[in-house]
Amino acid sequence: MEIRYTQGRSADDGQPCEMSAPDFDAFERQIRENVTRIGVLSTDDKDALNIKKRRLPYVWHAFKPGTARRRCAVSAGDLYFLPLDLDGVTPAGWICIKGALGAYRGFAYTTYTTPATCTQPPTASTARVLCWRRRVRSLP
């Protein structure tokens, strides 16, 4: 199944490019290949880290047909994947989330290399998860 999405170059990019992948494997490859190094240093304070993080690319909805190609609620079209922004999730919370996502196929990535390179403690890590429902699962 084709997965349609848009991808922006940075937090300030209000006009993301339309993208598509023929299946979830290709989608994952495209996301993982779009690596942006932002040079996070262990000496960066919160303000410096936030400035660097604004340079990271983002993944967003496909555009709604007939709307302006801008990153805004009016243009948000179909969502072909489930994006989760899990900043600050605790280890116990991560276990709970992994259990709930058992019906999905997905992958996760972080917006920095390791917790040791940033001023946030390891229990407040930054993670993004993109999932795709590949099978129907009945709720208990």
Question: Is residue 115, in this structure, part of any structural domain at all?
Answer: yes
Q: What is the mean pLDDT of residues 10-21?
A: 90
Residue 74 lies in a domain: yes
Q: Residue 84 forms beta bridges with which residues? A: 129
Return mean pLDDT, the chain.
77
Which residues of the chain form beta strands (DSSP E)?
3-8, 17-21, 58-60, 82-85, 105-110, 127-132
Q: Is the pLDDT of residue 6 over 80?
A: yes
Compute the average pLDDT of residues 27-55.
86
pLDDT at position 139 over 50? no
State the Cα–Cα distance between residues 118 and 41, nearest whole angstrom. Answer: 7
Quick one: which of 29, 10, 12, 9 has its CA closest to 21? 29
pTM for this prediction: 0.70
Classify residue 140: in a domain, yes or no. Answer: no
Average pLDDT over residues 85-103: 80
Q: Which residue has the higher pLDDT, 67 or 101?
A: 67
Classify residue 62: in a domain, yes or no.
Answer: yes
What's the pLDDT tens digit per position in 58-92?
888 889 888 888 888 888 888 888 887 777 778 88
66 vs 122 pLDDT, higher one = 66
Q: Is 68 part of a structural domain of the chain?
A: yes
The pLDDT value recorded for residue 40 is: 82
d(C-alpha 45, C-alpha 51), whole Å: 10
The answer to whether residue 16 sits within a structural domain is yes
* Neighbouring residues of 104: CB distance < 8 A, sequence distance ≥ 6: 82, 131, 132, 133, 134
Q: Say which range, 34-38, 41-45, 61-65, has the weakest mean pLDDT.
A: 34-38
What is the total count of domains within the chain?
1
Note whether residue 22 is domain-resident: yes
Residue 59, strand partner residues: 7
What range does the domain containing 46 cover? Answer: 3-132
- Domain contains 137: no
